[in-house]
Structure 1
Amino acid sequence: MAQATFGAGCFWGVEHFFRQIEGVTDVTCGYMGGNDKYTDYQSVKSGTTGHAEVVQVEYDEDKVSFETLLTVFWQNHNPTTLNQQGGDIGSQYRSTIFFHDRIQKQQAEASKLALIKSERWGLKQIVTEIVPAARFHEAEAYHQNYLAKNELPSCHIFYG
């Protein structure tokens, strides 16, 4: 199985969208990209740890491509708002692609460039970071599959 890691705001909604993709075998909410000393929800929520709320996606490359996952990522959040998605504000909600290898980096950069060239967002700047994957910290159990367990609609706003 391959891995991909995305930050696109509240991880509950991001997890929901990726779970819908055929070929995705698991999605785990967690934290990445900050000070590894503090990785619990309250610390990350404070915005002082440098972590982003992320989802780590496990997928079968024979059934779904990384490019398809990138399309889902771009379609389900606003990549033009710095450190914010909807009402969630802070660096922990930033738009980020954490690449796991050189090929993912190249594909992520190409997809970002294609989005810019498409002018889908007009003159707004795409602020999504494309950075190397760092240590992944799994979020607390109550965050996993939160929307389904609590029978809530997606907390994520569709921006596509």
Structure 2
Amino acid sequence: MKTKVLMVCLGNICRSPLAEGVLKSKIDLSHVFVDSAGTAGYHVGKAPDKRSIAVAKKHGLDISNQVCRKLKAQDLEDFDMIFSMDKSNYENIIGVSRSKEQAKKVRLLLSNGDAIINEVPDPYYGGEDGFEHVYQLINDACNRIAKEL
């Protein structure tokens, strides 16, 4: 049975699609399923932000075929590991959980065990540099997660 990993941000067009693509590039996809979602439904059915697509492409990844979707309560049952990009979305995910077992699956992407290191900033309203910075943070975190898997 595959381990299922879900990356979550607010709109599922900047950070979580990038995290999905980065993690997929670092693991054996025959053993791990990776997806992404947003806690808000602003962009359902749309492709990732063009700036996320561009920074992924710059690093040899193609995330252009991903489609934005909203987090569902069932995701907390279906996925083994759920990574939030920031504290606000972490709280939103925990709010959807129906049990302590589900809540235990949720972690901040930039955490080391229980110690919170930092949040992945939302680059949506910033420039291109913000997307590169976010890529680097996500890449480092995905290296750690890939070792766990």
Q: Which interval holds the TM-score relative to the shorter structure? A: 0.3 to 0.5
Higher relative contact order (CA 8 A, sep 6+): 1
Higher helix proportion, which one?
2
- With normalisation by structure 2, the TM-score equals 0.36
Higher strand proportion, which one?
1
- With normalisation by structure 1, the TM-score equals 0.34
